[in-house]
Amino acid sequence: MLFAGKVALVTGAGSGIGKATAEAFARLGASVGVLSRTEEEVDAVVRDIRGQGGDAIALIADIADEAAMRAAVDRLVGAFGALDIVIANAGINGVWAPIDDLEPAEWDETITVNLRGTYLTLHLTVPHLKAAGEGSIVVVSSINGTRTFTTPGATAYSATKAAQLAMVQQLALELGKSHIRVNAICPGAIETEIDDNTRQRGTDEAGIPVVWPQGQIPISAGEPGTAAEVADAILFLASSKARHITGVPLWIDGGQGLLR
């Protein structure tokens, strides 16, 4: 059991990549804090984990809300006595629109959730990792803003994903002396529900017409990756098998970013 005796927090764990990651940690022996702002989703994930013999606790919080996140982290540590692994996965695509059409409130929403939320997740959990004497953090970024810049209208989203990678590389040095590793994964097209919540406006105007080679994802004949495939990479970076890896972005896109 690769994570036996470990306690992991996974944000955005009610669906998609977060759900797959939380369930995988539990299967490998970790006690898991399943965090999302949607109570019904996290309750269902916790039931599934417990039904398979795992250990998990439901945590309801908006990652951009300091009081709610502080209470959630305190509840997790109170329940399991420690915290060893943090997966900062929660985020939004927000509004994708030309820069002169993107409203300030729409920009602010994406920045608040994706950057303030990531900051608060790390700000509130790092003291517990330091207390444990070591730890691992994995931030879920994206190929957008780190490897590709061709998604029409995704300026706010790409800016947050680039900033997340900068945070990871900055903190890899800052936290290294505390034996805390910090890495990023950068998924490409993955089968999740996040696209259903993406608001797009005027993207034809913002886009650059490109004729792709046949299929956008070479290794899978154009098919998107799965949440489980991303979870496998997260587990590797969080585990002792990656004990000499920190400050690294890992692109999980089947080669998609190389075409774009």
Which residues are tagged catalytic? 157
The tokens describing 26, both together, are: 């539990």
CA-based end-to-end distance of the chain: 39
Rounded distance between C-alpha atoms, residue 8 and residue 59, angstroms: 12
CA 189 to chain CA centroid, Å, is: 14
Asked if 98 and 149 count as a contact pair (C-beta separation under 8 A), the reply is: no
CA proximity to 253, closest of 214, 220, 228? 220
